[in-house]
Chain A
Amino acid sequence: KQGNEKEVVVEALTSCSFSVFAFQPHYPQKIMNLRRDLTAFVTDIQTAADAKVVQKRTQLGEAKQKREELLEKDVKSSQEKFDEIASRWLIVSQKVILPDLQEALNKQQQLCAVLIQDKKKLINELQQELKLGDDSYVKHLRKNAEEIDLMIERMEDQIQILTQAYREELAQIEVRPALDQETNDLLRASESLRWVRSMCLTLESLAERRKKVEEYEEKIHKLRFKNAHNTKVLEMENNAKEQVCPNMELNCNNASCLFIFSSGKRMHIYTFTVMTLCFRDENNLQKLKNLYTKEQKEFTRHSRKLSENYKRQIQKYEHFAVADGKTFEEMWLMTDAEAKQLAERALLIDSVICKQLLGLSWERPHLASLELSGPSRPQELAGNSDSGPERQEENFFSDTQEKVKELLCNETDFLVETKVLKLLAPLENEEQTDMKLVTLLYVSSYSAHLCLFLKLNISSTTETKLEEERTTSVGRFSITLANKWFACLQDACASSDFGKAEETRATTNSGPELINPDHVLPALKTVTCFCLSCPSYLIPASQRDSSEHEAYWESLGNVVSEEKLKLWDAAERNLKQYHAVLMEISDLTLETDRLKQRNAELRMQLQQRLSSTVRLFLLTIFL
């Protein structure tokens, strides 16, 4: 209990002081140190109080133990005494004679009194102890109160110290920005002064320069004026001299020569200065020019290199493409041959089965696809066969085509932008038409399709020599397109009544006009519609024979028909059964062979035995 009060007070105080210190996160080093030291003082007090409490506790525990021991001892002794008294009572009860009894009773009383006295003594002792404890408690309390007072005083001092420190800090904080302000102001003022000074200087120099410039201008003006005047005067004089007197000529000449010389000299000086200026500029220009030419050269070199690189790349790709094509062809041929072999074998087997097993007559099935082979052959065949007439036709068409093209382009000029037309103006006639066609196609409704096609075509053209190549490829494309167009146009014209005459004229190749210029636009429209409706028209031929090939491969795969396969299955089954029977038979023959051999052996043995027994028999008989 004694420690408790103080404990609690100390705690309250410390918590108070902590709360005073607890609410500002940052301090300078000095205040931090102060804080730590001051609080350390308080916590030290707390630990001291703790130590006291611990000590007190141990003391109390010891005292308690002692007391308990004492009490126990006392209980024991008193118990002994009580036992004695109790045992004596028996003796007392046996006594018959009165004085004896009296005596015994007296003794008993004495004993009891002793016991009671002992107890009283003990009680007294304990009471004294209690009193002592009380006194010491009171003392302790007083002491604690004193200590607490002292502590409070000290803490007040601490708080004062801290507040002073804080105040100083605050003052410093207040002063610092003020100082900063002042220095800043000073700096700003000096800076502005310097600036003003420099500004004044520059202004002055500028004014001077302006003045000078004005002077110079004036001078130049004057000089020019003077010169002009002089020359005029000279001219006048000369004229006068020429007119007036030849004998004065020499004198005059002399004078005029002097004058001219002097003026010329002056002029010379001026021109010299001007020239030097010009030279400087020229030099600069020359330098720039040199640099420019150098740059240009480098650039051209670079571009050439790049173009060469590009060409090489393209060649490489071309090479690769060719190689790929070759390998593809080889592969095709190889697989084709293999497939054919396989088919032949299958047919052979089929024939064997039919002829030998089933006894049927076998016919070689007609397979057209077997003749077909190679990726290139069909095209080649077609190319070869059609080459004659087509070429003729081509020749026949080329003129008309060109004409149609021109017509188309000229008639549909309005669709092409004027800019493009201007750009195209310097080109040749043919190229012009080609380009126009291309732009037209861009403009027309299915430009997307055509662009795609254009790209395809460009990529498919292997000879690409930059711009020339491009134009040629475009030309070729346009030609192929024009072919188709032309065909379409013919169809379209055939369908329309008014186109008939033109068509006939076109086919006969007689008239310069193929189609009436008025009908070009509707015809174009029908063509575009037609082209939109059947985009396959635009797909190149090389891609279309894939279905043919597919059929070819399919037919190769189906050399042996389903029915035949069934037949084969049945035949196989029968053969298997037959095979099994044959196996059995072969086994049996083996068995019989073995048995026969054995039989022969046995027979041999029997014979031997028989002969031996006979011999024995004979011997016995003889003996």
Chain B
Amino acid sequence: THLTPSKGQRKMRRIIAENPNWSLVVVPSLSSMCLQSIVNNFEGLLSQLTPGQRDFIQEGLSPTLPLRVTANLIPDGVYWKRCCERRWDLCDVSRYGHSWRRMFFERHLENLIELFIPEVTEPKAVLDVLPFCKSYVRRLNVSQLLPPIKEPQGEKDGEENDLDLAIDSEHDEACAHHFDFGLVLRELTHLEELALVYRVKECGMNFEWKMFEMTKRDCESLAKALKSSRTLKLFRLHQSNVEDKKCRLLVKHLLDHPSLRELDLSHNLIGNGGARAIGKLLARSKLEVLNVCDNKIGELGAKAIARALSRNSTLSSLNLRLNLVRDEGGAAIGEALRSNTTLHHLNLGGNDMTWRAASALSDVLIENKTLRSINLSCNNLGKVGGKALAEAMSHNTTLTELNVLLTEVDEQNASFVSEVVCANQRSEHKKQRKTGSIKYP
């Protein structure tokens, strides 16, 4: 076409076609052109646009679009932020590696599992989402697991024979089975952290004890699921009434796990038998952090753990807070620390220990150069224990934390200990600064 401004007073434009075959019929309509461009760019619909255009689309898209479509198509960014903010009030993206998409899928899956009612909800509801989620979900923090409404007929368990400590399993038999994680964990190939609590939130007046514990079958299925997950690094199971039997079952399946680094079984009912099993796990895994606080581990269990500790070379943190380790257990752990060169943090708070354990530990403090922090609070160490610890601290230059609060240690020794710890902290800080300045010039 050629554009010619007309002469004369009337200013107007006229389009004259050079092509004699030209007509209005041949001109494509705008809508068809749009469709055509969609067709042409269907593959990389977003990748070929400029950032501004991309943002525009992400701002405009409806957050209710089916996940099947959006999961892999829309990159991390504004769209997923909108999705998250629409569903939840609090959105701390820093906890999810600054990825809104990850946050959305993790929380979406958590919600699905938390609201899953066995034998009422179709398992498909969860399983359908997995194919989209699996490449984004790294952590699952499940804060409740609902029991089934209808009570299933309890099956008798005949495995009582091979378990030496029989704890009453009345609830077990009658209790309902929760969500089966075997289905989920197998699919999630990027999962690294799993935190579970077998309980019901806001139960109100419908409270029943069985709402707050896992059944035997739950435990079995969970253990198998954990074994099947090859990428899991952290497993946390809180407040779920895990006793020796279940603990042993879990540990049995966790032996030689290729990736597990951190195990947290705090606020349960693990006794000596479970502790023995955990000791075995320490020997046959690469655990770095073990947290079994607020359980019922006694002297024998502590000894088993200590034995494993003396041979282990990966564990860096051990938390035995609020157990019943007592003097013998504390002394055994102290003895184990003589030959251990990896443990950095040790928590023996609230373990009913006295000055004997304190003196055993203080013997070790003189020799050991790897320990960074020890917590001995809420033990009845007394003046003798305090004196022993103070003497040991005068020879130690590595410990940067020693908690002796509420241990009946006299003021003088306590202040001396805190002084030494402060000095150690300062020297450590200086060292860090030096290395840090070398690292980041």
Which residues in A have some Cβ–Cβ distance to B below 8 Å?
A: 4, 7-8, 25-26, 32, 36, 43-44, 47-48, 50-51, 53-54
Contact = CB atoms under 8 A, between A and B. Distances in A.
Given A44-B405, A47-B405, A50-B350, 7 more contacts: A7-B294, A25-B436, A26-B436, A47-B377, A50-B321, A53-B322, A53-B350
B377 A53 contact: no
A157 B433 CA distance: 29
B317 to A, nearest CB: 13
Given A47-B378, A50-B349, A53-B350, A25 B403 contact: no
Interface in B109-133: none
4 shortest interchain CB distances as A-B pairs: A47-B377, A50-B350, A51-B378, A47-B405
Contacts of B433: 25-26
Given A4-B267, A47-B378, A53 B403 contact: no
B425 interface: yes
Given A26-B433, A50-B322, A53-B322, A8 B238 contact: yes
A47 B239 CA distance: 20
A32 B378 contact: no
B439 to A, nearest CB: 9
B62 interface: no
A360 to B, nearest CB: 93
Contacts of B395: none
A154 to B, nearest CB: 17
B98 interface: no
A47 B406 contact: yes
Contacts of B436: 25-26
14 contacts: A7-B267, A7-B294, A8-B238, A8-B267, A26-B432, A43-B403, A47-B378, A50-B322, A50-B350, A50-B378, A51-B377, A51-B406, A53-B294, A53-B322
B9 to A, nearest CB: 67
B429 interface: yes
Contacts, number: 45
B378 A54 contact: yes
A32 B403 contact: no
A61 to B, nearest CB: 11
A619 to B, nearest CB: 114
Contacts of B405: 44, 47
B334 to A, nearest CB: 20
Contacts of A50: 321-322, 349-350, 377-378, 406
A54 B405 CA distance: 14
**Which of B406, B422, B436 lies at the interface centre, i.e. has the most chain A CB atoms within 10 A of its CB?**
B406
Interface string B288-300: 0000001000000
Interface of B: 238-239, 267, 294, 321-322, 349-350, 352, 377-378, 403, 405-406, 422, 425, 429, 432-433, 436
Nearest to B377: A47
Contacts of B350: 50-51, 53-54
A47 B432 contact: no
| Main SS at interface, chain A | helix
A10 to B, nearest CB: 12
A43 B403 CA distance: 9
A47 B322 contact: no
A44 B406 CA distance: 9
A49 to B, nearest CB: 9
A32 B377 contact: no
Nearest to B267: A4
B39 to A, nearest CB: 49
A32 B400 CA distance: 13
**Which of A47, A48, A51 lies at the interface centre, i.e. has the most chain B CB atoms within 10 A of its CB?**
A47
Nearest to A58: B352
A48 B350 CA distance: 10
Nearest to B440: A25
B130 to A, nearest CB: 29
B414 to A, nearest CB: 13
A7 B350 CA distance: 13
Nearest to A32: B429
A4 B197 CA distance: 13
A54 B378 CA distance: 8
Contacts of B425: 36
Contacts of B239: 4, 8
A4 B403 CA distance: 22
A50 B422 CA distance: 24
A599 B377 CA distance: 119
Contacts of B321: 50
Contacts of A43: 403
B316 to A, nearest CB: 16
A25 B294 contact: no
Nearest to A33: B422
A47 B267 contact: no
B324 to A, nearest CB: 9
A109 to B, nearest CB: 36
**Which of B349, B352, B378, B425 lies at the interface centre, i.e. has the most chain A CB atoms within 10 A of its CB?**
B378
A8 B238 CA distance: 9
A43 B239 CA distance: 22
Contacts of A44: 405
Nearest to B401: A43
Contacts of B422: 36
**Which of A32, A43, A48, A51 lies at the interface centre, i.e. has the most chain B CB atoms within 10 A of its CB?**
A51
A429 to B, nearest CB: 78
A375 B425 CA distance: 89
Given A7-B294, A25-B432, A47 B238 contact: no
Given A4-B239, A32-B429, A54 B267 contact: no
A8 B321 CA distance: 13
Contacts of A7: 267, 294
Contacts of B432: 25-26
B264 to A, nearest CB: 11
Nearest to A5: B239
A54 B429 contact: no
A152 to B, nearest CB: 15
Contacts of B352: 54
A48 B238 contact: no
B349 A47 contact: yes
B330 to A, nearest CB: 15
Contacts of A8: 238-239, 267
A54 B351 CA distance: 9
Contacts of B403: 43, 47
Contacts of B238: 8
A48 B239 CA distance: 21
Nearest to B379: A54
Contacts of A51: 350, 377-378, 406
A48 B267 contact: no
Contact of B322 (A25, A36, A54): A54
Contacts of A26: 429, 432-433, 436
A8 B422 CA distance: 29
Contacts of A4: 239, 267, 294
Contacts of A54: 322, 350, 352, 378
B118 to A, nearest CB: 25
A25 B429 CA distance: 8
A208 B189 CA distance: 89
A44 B405 CA distance: 8
**Which of A32, A43, A50, A53 lies at the interface centre, i.e. has the most chain B CB atoms within 10 A of its CB?**
A50
A4 B293 CA distance: 11
A44 B349 CA distance: 12
A291 to B, nearest CB: 54
A25 to B, nearest CB: 5
Contacts of A47: 349, 377-378, 403, 405-406
Nearest to B349: A50
A48 B294 contact: no
A54 B352 CA distance: 9
A51 B377 CA distance: 8
A48 B406 contact: yes
Nearest to B433: A26
Contacts of A32: 429
Nearest to A43: B403
A530 to B, nearest CB: 75
